[in-house]
Structure 1
């Protein structure tokens, strides 16, 4: 009996030890879970300095820690759905607090009127620090961004843009001639035009045969845009970058993309910097402002390279895609196309008397309105980089904490009209046709608005007016307007351009000979 009792006591002791161990493990697990929760807790889940909860716009419920990431992964569907919550909606992009701006009214208040305190940028451990090697101005915080922004203003704003109109008109003539010789490659001609204009403006020379190296820059841009939040998990949880370096499991993958970006930029930049240093380069923004002997830019040579290549990257890509969307609109909306042609004919003559010029812009409001409708009808972006609030603020009846990220909901903004699915340039005939920022948010807003918007506006005008005047479009296969491959360098949809008449064909040839680009058009 004594022996049996001793065995029972021994088993009881083992059970107590097991129970203690279980309780200990549960406490540790709870502590770890609580620590993770606290580590990734969004700013609005913390008490305000006054101790009361923050007041935010409504939005969909999310999951613990990951927030609304699965919801945001639905892209345009999520963006469209968020508009149902009102003018603003609250979501959690991982540990980031996002407040989406779903109407132009609140976007104007927060980005433009409150720009002094909504001008910040959140940390981007992947897309900023690794992929962009810390050099992409668009993602840099205000203290690093402001001087570079001032430098870019010297190139692409105000009276400076007027100096480049001759480049746009010449390259546009070459585009018209390229249509003649390779009508099935219209999308390549759009790409060459867009790249050549911004390349010449930035680097002082025509692209010539070196434009092939743009493909590397394009791929770098694609890697960048495809990883902007919510498209990579690390930037949705920037706190991960605070972990010890050996725990950065993502570093090798994204550092490799950063190296590819640096190498692609360097390949494009190398002939430019060599010519500048040897004294054989033409006068240009790069030489005069960025890296020449008398340049006033205080950044490094690498900073100068990234600044120049960002201008080329952004300036070429948006214009190229917008011209592709124009081709789609010409195929799908013949009535609007004919109205645009009638307007150009009224100014330039229906019998191929002369090509439209940039000076005709004031007399062609419908062409300007059509340009704006392209950006609304098929928006290039769903989200653009966040504008981070730099101090607590009460606004529109809400109380937002410092660190709130305001994000333009481009889908909702582009559908903020009657019959948004209908392509109707007339909706922009409001006296502001020639101001491409008025009512259009694809260039961003506030102090961080794209500095090249005026250049883009003029490029769209001159090319649309001339293509409408000289060419007809036909589909060469089925066209799916819901999936047109906006971001591809290849053919986004099957189409072909044909000269409007023999007289218009001759006008294109004569103009190309006059500007000295006919041979280039045959070769490129």
Structure 2
């Protein structure tokens, strides 16, 4: 009898919701797909929410309200509305919603990516921009980048034209570069494999948490073991970073890696930010997690698309080899003359943003957006994947990989052109963009100069199948055959 009663309640609620949906709309009601009791629109998300939400936006528009369980979420799916959110009303949309995932895995509000908009976030971001990722400091690590790219090239040469796992090599490259820059030395393969730990952390951070959206079903997360796994991973990270900090304190050095800089700030206190060990660990996580997986994922997508489009691969090789004629490697000074290289980067970022549904925003006060009243505390998600494929912006071939479209276009990914925002824009834009881009272009250019490339199979649409999670990479490891050019 109880089950029958519950079914009738659900049926009645659904009919009532549907009636309101089709007859009760007002001019200022945000378009919204019909939702089910308890789960809201979760059943419509599928394995790849960025794709499902993009398709829903074709019907309901670029400003759409969906419900993840009991949580209302505003979905933005066009460049024009993204401009309103990230520029016109940037301050209002600059905060972050509370997240149990961040609290259990990434030091909660101390983590710059999830910290609410306020004094702590402003000062911490200033530390990133001024002390850790300034152009001067980014340039100071050019020798580190060059050395690690040279090691990557040597590993590929040793393959003797057998298939190489580029996914693994790219992941190790970015891990080693960021380890040296942020922590002072490599930590992979020394009993402390930060690469494996970072990958595990990102999987857990991207796992769907029932309790976040349906609080009274939080016990499901406990049964799934998510809470236990997250606590274990955070503990392991904490132990590693405690050792790293202790090592730096023991040597009492004045180096230029991130930990040295942060310890100097802690001692100096001149910037007005009181930081303790937990703050330092949270900032290191930002630098390490933000700079490793997303950078290697971008290289994977670039090579995937180039192998699928041999004409683009050939054109890029010709450009690199013309600029670096009679040279054995590409330097960072050479990259500025490689227009097609930059176009390949832009086209890959357009089609394959590492985080297609950008980290959620939250409104700090009521705001009027395109005639819709958005109350304070509303969660807002910007679908960068959908924006990058808008036919109104990119034309009827928006789904195609065609770097040439960027050669005569002024649109860039640095936060001023909202049709291309893989790193975000406005106050919450990724501060590590310049660091990621210079490493990416250096690595890709050297790969084009040093080897001729061949796919291990016929490239088809299935070869761009996506993984699941918050960060989207190719579903399968990328293998290719590299033949040295000299």
TM range (shorter): 0.7 to 0.9
Whether the 8 Å CA contact 2:39–2:69 is kept in 1: the answer is: yes
Whether the 8 Å CA contact 1:118–1:387 is kept in 2: the answer is: yes
Whether the 8 Å CA contact 2:450–2:484 is kept in 1: the answer is: yes
Following superposition of structure 1 onto structure 2, how do residues 128-147 of structure 1 map, counting pairs within 5 Å? 128-134=102-108, 135-143=110-118, 144-147=120-123
Q: Comparing 255-264 with 384-393, which one deviates more in the overlay?
A: 255-264
Q: Any idea what the Cα deviations from partners look like across 1:226-274, whole Å, max 9, x if unmatched?
A: 2xxxx22222246x59xxxxx8674684442332222231343244223
- Alignment partner of 1:101 is 2:76: yes
TM-score by length of 2: 0.82
Q: In structure 2, do the counterparts of structure 1 residues 209 and 68 end up closer, same or farther at CA, with 3 Å as the change threshold? A: closer
Whether the 8 Å CA contact 1:291–1:301 is kept in 2: the answer is: no
Q: In structure 2, do the counterparts of structure 1 residues 249 and 411 end up closer, same or farther at CA, with 3 Å as the change threshold? A: closer
Q: CA deviation at 1:175?
A: 1.2
Q: Comparing 317-326 with 439-448, which one deviates more in the overlay?
A: 439-448
- Alignment partner of 1:481 is 2:459: no
- Alignment partner of 1:180 is 2:153: no
Q: Where do 5+ consecutive residues of structure 1 fail to align?
A: 1-21, 46-51, 242-246, 504-524
User: Secondary structure in 2 aligned to 1:142?
Assistant: coil
Whether the 8 Å CA contact 2:178–2:291 is kept in 1: the answer is: yes
Q: Any idea what the Cα deviations from partners look like across 1:455-484, whole Å, max 9, x if unmatched?
A: 111111111111111122222246532425
- 2:84 and 2:244 map into 1 onto residues whose CA distance is 42
Aligned to 1:492: 476
- Alignment partner of 1:470 is 2:450: yes
Aligned to 1:407: 381
Following superposition of structure 1 onto structure 2, how do residues 509-520 of structure 1 map, counting pairs within 5 Å? none
Whether the 8 Å CA contact 2:95–2:361 is kept in 1: the answer is: yes
Q: Where do 5+ consecutive residues of structure 2 fail to align?
A: none
Aligned to 2:128: 152
- 1:385 and 1:489 map into 2 onto residues whose CA distance is 16
Q: CA deviation at 1:396?
A: 1.7
- 1:83 and 1:176 map into 2 onto residues whose CA distance is 43
- 2:80 and 2:473 map into 1 onto residues whose CA distance is 35
Q: In structure 2, do the counterparts of structure 1 residues 490 and 363 end up closer, same or farther at CA, with 3 Å as the change threshold? A: closer
How big is the alpha-carbon RMSD for the aligned residues of Structure 1 and Structure 2? Answer: 3.3
Following superposition of structure 1 onto structure 2, how do residues 393-472 of structure 1 map, counting pairs within 5 Å? 393-416=367-390, 417-418=394-395, 419-430=397-408, 432=410, 435-437=413-415, 438=417, 439-472=419-452
Whether the 8 Å CA contact 2:41–2:68 is kept in 1: the answer is: yes
Aligned to 1:348: 324
- 2:50 and 2:378 map into 1 onto residues whose CA distance is 22
Q: Any idea what the Cα deviations from partners look like across 1:142-164, whole Å, max 9, x if unmatched?
A: 23433322222221244332222
Following superposition of structure 1 onto structure 2, how do residues 51-450 of structure 1 map, counting pairs within 5 Å? 55-73=28-46, 75-84=49-58, 85-124=60-99, 126-134=100-108, 135-143=110-118, 144-153=120-129, 154-182=131-159, 184-207=164-187, 209-210=189-190, 212-226=193-207, 231-237=208-214, 250=221, 253-279=225-251, 282-290=255-263, 294=267, 296=269, 298-349=274-325, 352-416=326-390, 417-418=394-395, 419-430=397-408, 432=410, 435-437=413-415, 438=417, 439-450=419-430
TM-score by length of 1: 0.76
Q: CA deviation at 1:168?
A: 1.7
Q: CA deviation at 1:415?
A: 0.8
Whether the 8 Å CA contact 1:387–1:406 is kept in 2: the answer is: yes
Q: How many residues align?
A: 447
Q: In structure 2, do the counterparts of structure 1 residues 393 and 254 end up closer, same or farther at CA, with 3 Å as the change threshold? A: same
User: Secondary structure in 2 aligned to 1:64?
Assistant: coil
- 2:445 and 2:220 map into 1 onto residues whose CA distance is 51
Q: In structure 2, do the counterparts of structure 1 residues 336 and 92 end up closer, same or farther at CA, with 3 Å as the change threshold? A: same
- 2:228 and 2:275 map into 1 onto residues whose CA distance is 24
Q: CA deviation at 1:66?
A: 2.9
User: Secondary structure in 2 aligned to 1:139?
Assistant: coil
- 1:497 and 1:276 map into 2 onto residues whose CA distance is 41
